[in-house]
Structure 1
Amino acid sequence: MSFLDKAKAMIDKHEDKVDAALDKIGDEVDRRTGHKHSSKIDKGVEEIKKRTGPTR
């Protein structure tokens, strides 16, 4: 099993934790940019969640 396969398996196994971390990261980026790009950040976080979800 390659490193990438292991990473994908880990993400699938802990999807709820990965999603929570992505939300926290998005919130922090939003805060640091002064909430000027909130909708774009939210859209980006949601897109990443789709790509890391079980239906990749």
Structure 2
Amino acid sequence: MGFRESLRARLAPARDKVSDLASQHGDRIGQGLDKAARAVDERTNGKYSERIDAGRGKAKDAIDRMSQQDGDGGGTPGA
């Protein structure tokens, strides 16, 4: 077994736990991301609004992918 396969085997329980949490609490996580993005945007006086929105969107997409993996039976994440 190579290093990569060994690492995946060791991280599988953590990945499964994160997927479970993402599927159970995805809406609350999304609300937290929105709240954090608003706070950062206010503190930077809107200077980085586009970047903040892009980052928030990517984080929400990642949460969605993790919650969908839970239903797939723990498929391999994309490369």
- The normalised TM-score by structure 1 is 0.82
Q: What pairs up with 1:1-56 in 2 under 5 angstroms? A: 2-53=13-64, 54-55=67-68
Structure 2: gaps (5+ residues) = 1-11, 70-79
| Number of corresponding residues | 56
Letter matched to residue 50 of structure 2: S
1:14 corresponds to which letter in structure 2? H
Separation of aligned partners in 2, 1:8 and 1:55: 8
Normalised to the residue count of structure 2, the TM-score between the two structures is 0.61
Q: Percent identity, aligned pairs only?
A: 30
| TM-superposition CA deviations, 1:18-53 (whole Å, max 9, x none) | 111110011111111111011110111011100111
Distance 1:27 1:2 in 2: 33
Shift, 1:7, TM fit = 2.1
Note the aligned Cα RMSD (angstroms).
1.7
